[in-house]
Amino acid sequence: MAESASALFSTYARFPITLVKGEGTKLYDDTGKEYLDFMSGLAVTSLGHAPQAVKERLTAQLDELWHCSNLFSQPNQEKLAGLLTEHSSADAVFFCNSGAEANEAAIKLARRYHSKVLGTGKYQIITFQQSFHGRTLATLTATGQDKVKDGYAPLPEGFVHAPFNDAAALEGYITAETCAIMLEMIQAEGGVLEADPAFVQEIVRLCEKHGLLLIVDEVQTGMGRTGKLFAHQHYGIEPDIFTLAKALGSGFPIGAMLGKEKLKAAFTPGSHASTFGGTPIAAAAAIATVETMLAEKLPERAAELGDYLLGKLHESLDGNGYVLAIRGKGLIIGIECAGPVAGDIAAIHQQGLLVVSAGPNVIRLLPSLIITEDDIDRAVAIIAGVLAGRKPVGSGV
């Protein structure tokens, strides 16, 4: 449908492709053209499209109960919360519908814990430049990118943006009002920038020194994508709070905020809620997703195939002056280029491979965790072919 004829708000700069079917690692448009999917719906379809285990669990749930108010106990929620806490350092879970809602819940919990449990009244949260935490008013304010804030003033107070990976500067951003530090282990939207281990350890030290909560946004990096079930597990840390969404439901909308036992005292009845958070259907999809990831060892597979993908990219792109860096962990990879990549991405799409950007100059690869080496070889060949003809900015060619 032409954009001018659409009844939708034009909030997305859409690619000129209409996708109508997905199966495994492949997508198909309305002309029947096949695409190898290295976007995964922005890190959502990590089990591939229409995974059988999730489909079976959803089909069974559709015959039982679709919606139940959270004023009643829900067995699927209890089972899913048990799975998540059993395989993490968290003790309690709040279910919602999206990553933004999960991060909103984390922000609220941090403030309420300091207000109602500790009695400090502290409310300020330190986040980082280039970060991305969501599109609600609070989470876009927490985001360290000005472009998402344009036109939404006045913004909520209580957020400070420190430079990412600058351990020496961080303590200077802590004030008498600071209650938490919130970070992504890999800044996916900010350019696939990985947190330095020394920087993370300094954050942990400062949180302990100043009595701050540590919040980790795992919306894009969680659920096996980086080679661990959760990206913070690479660093040997235990955040007070961390958030999930995207891949948790294999495409069915669900988000989750997980926290330590001590935080239960802050989220009491009536303090926070969500009508559709953790519905029987959403929780069923997530249970099947988590069980499949664990049974098939997909995080470990992501680590192995991520190494293979990085190796193939270096083999094909090292020496290309247009490519400035190749970075990432597991199956979240960024290819930083010497100029804007919008045209490169369009050309890659035309060759039957779906990728996305991470900022103006970075091509982001987010294949499903069931991707094969043959899929990777095909994808790298397409990317290398498109970038082979590109020249560094200022080369005069």
Q: How many CB atoms lie within 10 A of CB 279?
A: 26
Model pLDDT for residues 317-341, shown as the tens digit of each residue? 999 999 999 999 999 999 999 999 9
Model pLDDT for residues 263-302, shown as the tens digit of each residue? 999 999 999 999 999 999 999 999 999 999 999 999 999 9
CA dist 143 and 21 (Å) reads 33
| Strand pairing class (159-162; 332-337) | unpaired
CA dist 310 and 330 (Å) reads 9
Percentage of the chain lying above the pLDDT 70 cut: 98
H helices within the chain, ranges in order? 40-43, 52-62, 75-86, 99-112, 137-142, 167-170, 197-210, 280-295, 298-317, 342-350, 373-388
Average pLDDT over the chain, rounded to whole?
96
- Tell me the pLDDT band of 4, cut-offs 50, 70 and 90: low
Question: The pTM is what?
Answer: 0.96
- Tell me the pLDDT band of 225, cut-offs 50, 70 and 90: very high
Q: Count Cβ atoms within 10 A of the Cβ of residue 266 and give its class: 0-12 exposed, 13-18 middle, 19 or more buried.
A: buried
> Residue range 345-349: average pLDDT?
98
Model pLDDT for residues 161-204, shown as the tens digit of each residue? 999 999 999 999 999 999 999 999 999 999 999 999 999 999 99
Ordered by where they begin, the domains of the chain are 3-50+297-388 (3.90.1150.10), 52-295 (3.40.640.10)
Which region holds residue 387: left if phi is over 0, alpha if psi is between -120 and 50, else beta? Answer: alpha
CA dist 4 and 31 (Å) reads 21
Paired tokens of 156: 């909520």
Q: How many CB atoms lie within 10 A of CB 156?
A: 14
- Amino acid at position 94, single letter: F
